[in-house]
Amino acid sequence: MNSSLRTENLTIRFGGHAAVNGVTCAFQPGELTVIVGPNGAGKTTWFNLVSGQLKPTEGRIFKGDEDISALSPSARAKGGIGRAFQLTNLFPKLTVLENVRLAVQARAGQGARIFTRAAGLTDIRDKAYGFVEATRLAAVAHLPASALPHGDQRKLEVALLMAMEPDIFMFDEPTAGMSVDEAPAILELVAELKKDGSKTILLVEHKMDVVRALADRIVVLHNGELVADGRPDEVMALPIVREIYLGVGAEEVA
C-alpha cells in the first residue's frame, strides 16, 4: 500500500472566508513534516480535510494513486490514515491493556468481542502488550484508562493509533497540556515511528523546540495558504516566516 499523501489545490470556504486556500503539497514515507503557522492559519482545518471531517469546497486528496476525496472519515482511517483524535474506541473503565487489545482486535478484523475464544487471542494480547511497552505504559497497563494522568492518556492515544497500524500518522499538538517532564516521552515515540522508514508522519505544532527536534521538513501555512515548504534551516531563515512569527516566538525562530 502506498503511504504517500498529496493534496491538490485543497480549498475550503466558510461563507466568504477561505480557511484553507489552494494548498498543493505532497508527503512521502519516512518523512516527518511539521506544519506550522500562527493561530487561525488553517492547520487544523487542513488536517480535518485530510482525515475527512470536512469536505473541501475545491481540490482533491490522494493517498498513493487513489483519490480519497469522497471517502468518509472511517473509510480513510481503515485505509491507513491515522489521526489521534479519531480514537472513539476508548473505553474509560477498561484497562490500558484491554483498550489497546480491542484496538489490535479491531485492526485484525475481529470486532470488539474480547471474550470470544478466537485462535490467536494470545497473539493479539502479545501484540497489544508490545504497543503498551513501546509507549512506556507497562507500569500502568492494568489501570483503567480513566485513572491515567494526562500525559499517560496522551501516550495511550499514541498506543491506540499505533495499534491501528496506519501508514500515515497525523498528530495535532501531541504535547499540548503536558508538563515539561511528560513531553519528551511523547516526542521520542513520534521520533521512533519514523525509524522504519515506511510511515508518513505529519505533525501540527506551535512549540519551536519540538519543531526543531523532530522536523525533516516544515510546511508553513498563513491565512489558509501554503507560504513555505522545505528543510527546517531553509524555512526558518525565510523572511516571511520570521515576519509571521514576530510575536509568536520570534526570538525562538531567530
Residues in touch with ligand ATP (CB under 6 A): 14, 19, 37, 39-45
Which of 195, 123, 118, 201 shows the shortest CA–CA distance to 161?
201
Give CA 159 to chain center in angstroms. 12
Non-local (6+) Cβ contacts of 178 within 8 A are: 150, 151, 154, 186
Among residues 37 and 80, whose Cβ is nearest to ligand ATP?
37
Name the minimum Å distance from CB 181 to ligand ATP.
24
Name the minimum Å distance from CB 162 to ligand ATP.
24
Burial 36-61 (b: 16+ CB within 10 A, else e): bbbeebbbbbbbbbbbbbbebeebeb
Among residues 220 and 236, whose Cβ is nearest to ligand ATP?
220
Distance separating alpha carbons of residues 160 and 28, to the nearest angstrom: 23
Among residues 4 and 223, whose Cβ is nearest to ligand ATP?
223
Name the minimum Å distance from CB 97 to ligand ATP.
33
Among residues 137 and 244, whose Cβ is nearest to ligand ATP?
244
Name the minimum Å distance from CB 45 to ligand ATP.
3
Name the minimum Å distance from CB 39 to ligand ATP.
3
Distance separating alpha carbons of residues 218 and 246, to the nearest angstrom: 18
Residue 119 CB burial class (10 angstroms; 0-12, 13-18, ≥19): exposed
> Which amino acid is residue 38, in one-letter code?
P
Among residues 42 and 166, whose Cβ is nearest to ligand ATP?
42
Distance separating alpha carbons of residues 35 and 228, to the nearest angstrom: 10
Query: Within the chain, how many helices (H) and strands (E) appear?
Result: 10, 10
Name the minimum Å distance from CB 184 to ligand ATP.
22
Among residues 45 and 153, whose Cβ is nearest to ligand ATP?
45
Among residues 137 and 204, whose Cβ is nearest to ligand ATP?
204
Helix, strand, or coil here: 116?
coil
Name the minimum Å distance from CB 43 to ligand ATP.
3
- Residue 11 phi, psi dihedral angles, 5° rounding: -145, 135
